Structure 1
Amino acid sequence: MELTALEILGYIASILIAWSMAVSSIIKFRWINLFGALGLTIYSIIISAIPVAIVNALIVILDIYYLYKAYTKNEVFQTLELSEDDHYLKQFIEFYKNDIKEFFPNFEYKPDSKNLQFLILRDMYVTGVFMAKKIDDKTYNVDLDYVRPEYRDFKNGKYIYSQIKEKFLIQSCTTVKTQSKNKAHIKYLNKIGFKKVGEGEFEMKLKNN
């Protein structure tokens, strides 16, 4: 049976709506849901299902409204430096250990007073954790830069690296290294400013502004 263009539109829109429900990132959910609802609005108008069209049109308006709020909201970011044996940090890592393994399969929490450890706060909500260890006088290696799924919109990364840059430079550190083979994480690293220097190896050079 051959599908018409209208039927294809209906199927695609329905799939987008269903897909949006499985996405953890709030921003991604809104975008996918927006396109799905827009497609169903058009589909419903064409087949004269006006009540369905009205409901989906309202969803489109709500998605646009919340996306506008998300992109224009002035959120307050903060970092909270932690000691090597911080109890909350241990609990956080334990709670998110399965998701952490997806992005940092070789990560093992080994408390060390020489490591840098931060919680990332966003409007006072704990959204992620950052851990780095000093390799030599000029280099730090990022062992963990984890953000909770619902906050993965690159804002955390941009903030944390702008904050730690000054701290690293004060310590005469000019290079930050990290490792990854996860496609989503590699995309994040590229956007933050890391460059690929080898198989699964990434590096960022720090300079004074």
Structure 2
Amino acid sequence: MATELIGYVASALIVLSLAMSSVVRLRVISFVGSVTFVVYGLLIGAWPVVVTNAAIALINVWYLRKELGPRQDLGMVEVHREDPYLTDFLRTHLDDIHRSQPGFTTAHLDDVAFVLTRDGLPAGALLGRKDGRDLHVDLDYVMHAYRDSRIGRWLYADRAGALRGKGIRRVVAVADTDAHRRYLHAMGFARDGDRWVRDL
């Protein structure tokens, strides 16, 4: 009975992994499920189950290393605020944007606009208004599938030179949701009254 339970748990983990929209969570849960299946296969003496799931576990490790390793495949492309590509990206993802940043509107007159890319494909956007040496962020958004990919840390640390090159020395943001506040805190922002600030 305990052996069967291990098989059921492994199956449930694999099914759960397929329901994840986050690439990292999908890989982690799939890895745990495949390792559990390896144990199950060993217990019942089913070598095809062991070999197949050991291979799946290794594939998951390979992709997790790529996903969580040094970011060589991230990019940041400056665009005009009215760029049709950016406009379409924002329109397509507006509902998701409003879940964490409900105050965002496409009517903002931002003078700094970047499309964030992952493997050459759009993954997010950073929009804001420059005020002296400050960038007042109106939108800092990454698509759900890439939120575990450390794009934010890359943006505010490794790639901060792109913002400094525009004369920006401090980033200022306002957070209306707990999720956005947690994100800003994780990115190294410090609370300053009703706003969050981060020196570059």
Per the normalisation by structure 2, the TM-score is 0.82
Report the Cα offset of residue 8 of structure 1. Answer: 4.2
Residue of structure 2 in register with 1:192 after alignment: 187
Q: What does residue range 130-169 of structure 1 map to in structure 2 within 5 Å?
A: 130-134=126-130, 137=132, 139-162=134-157, 163-164=159-160, 167=163
Asked if the contact 1:169–1:206 (Cα under 8 Å) also holds between the matched residues in 2, the reply is no
Cα distance, 1:23 vs structure 2: 1.2
SS at match of 1:79: strand
Write the distance in 2 (CA, Å) between the matches of 1:111 and 1:175: 17
Amino acid at match of 1:125: L
Give the % identical residues: 30
2:169 maps to 1:176: no
1:75 partnered with 2:75: no
Deviation by residue 1:9-45 (Cα, 9 ceiling, x = unmatched): 3333222211111112222211110001111211222
Cα distance in 2, alignment partners of residues 115 and 165 from structure 1: 18
Q: What's the counterpart of residue 196 of structure 2?
A: 203
Q: 2:13 aligns with which of 10, 16, 25?
A: 16
Shift of 1:193: 0.4
Give the distance between the partners of 2:165 and 2:197, measured in 1 at CA. Answer: 13
Give the partner amino acid of 1:91. D
> What is the rounded CA distance, in whole Å, between the counterparts of 2:75 and 2:184 in structure 1?
21
Do 1:75 and 1:122's aligned partners in 2 also have CA atoms closer than 8 Å?
no
Equivalents in 2 of 1:10, 1:180: separation in Å? 44
> What are the ranges of 5 or more consecutive residues in structure 1 without an aligned counterpart?
none
TM-superposition CA deviations, 1:68-121 (whole Å, max 9, x none):
333446524332222221111110011112221222222111152x53111112
* Residue 120 of structure 2: aligned partner: 124
Aligned length: 199
Q: Does 1:105 align with 2:98?
A: no
1:23–1:29 contact (8 Å) kept in structure 2: yes
Structure 1 residues 81, 189: closer, same or farther in 2, change over 3 A?
same
Question: Does the 8 Å CA contact 1:137/1:173 hold for their aligned counterparts?
Answer: no
For the residue of structure 1 that corresponds to 2:183, the secondary structure is: helix
Q: For the residues of structure 2 that align with 1:106 and 1:62, how far apart are their CA atoms? A: 41
| Counterpart contact for 2:24–2:149, Cα < 8 Å | no
Q: Which runs of 5+ in 2 are unaligned?
A: none
**Aligned-residue CA RMSD in angstroms?**
2.8
The AA in structure 2 aligned to 1:193 is G
Pair 1:32-2:29 in alignment: yes
Q: Hey, what's the Cα distance between the residues in 1 that align with 2:48 and 2:171?
A: 59
> Hey, what's the Cα distance between the residues in 2 that align with 1:73 and 1:138?
29
Alignment match, 2:63: 66
Output the CA distance in 2 between the equivalents of 1:69 and 1:22.
21
Q: Which moved more, 1:26-35 or 1:187-196?
A: 187-196
